[in-house]
């Protein structure tokens, strides 16, 4: 499992992702985050994809290069988002993920 938020926070690079084996990955959690020092980031700083500073395109291209075709999961840990309806959260997460994948 890869989590883009935790990976970014730990200093994960696209090259390190490219060195993995796709068959070992079951799921990839895809999130973005605010522009803060990595040691200050918490789950509450997660954002919908494309709204932050994580190099998601580099990460995702590395996954594609591996041949990864498994699941992508957006985790919603931001309390600000929880105030919205479930339908809007799902819609926003999907729209942002689609836009990120298309870029």
CATH number, residue 19: 3.20.20.150
Query: Is pLDDT at 103 greater than 90 in this prediction?
Result: no
* Confidence bin at 52 (pLDDT 50/70/90): very high
Cα angle 73, 90, 37; round to 5:
60
Query: What is the percent of the chain with per-residue pLDDT over 70, rounded to a whole number?
Result: 100
Residue 96 has pLDDT above 90, yes or no: yes
Residue 35 is part of which domain span? 2-102
What value does the CA radius of gyration of the chain take, rounded to a whole number of Å?
13
Say if residue 76's pLDDT is above 90.
no
DSSP state of 92: H
The number of folded domains in the chain is 1
């Amino acid at each position: 499992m890869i989590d883009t938020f935790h990976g970014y926070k730990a200093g994960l690079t696209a090259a390190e992702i490219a060195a993995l084996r796709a068959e070992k990955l079951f799921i990839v959690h895809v999130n973005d985050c605010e522009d803060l020092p990595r040691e200050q980031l918490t789950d509450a700083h997660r954002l919908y994809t494309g709204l932050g500073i994580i190099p998601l395109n580099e990460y995702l291209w590395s996954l594609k290069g591996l041949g990864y075709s498994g699941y992508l999961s957006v985790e919603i840990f931001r309390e600000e988002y929880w105030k919205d309806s479930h339908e809007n959260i799902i819609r926003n997460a999907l729209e942002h993920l689609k836009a990120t994948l298309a870029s």
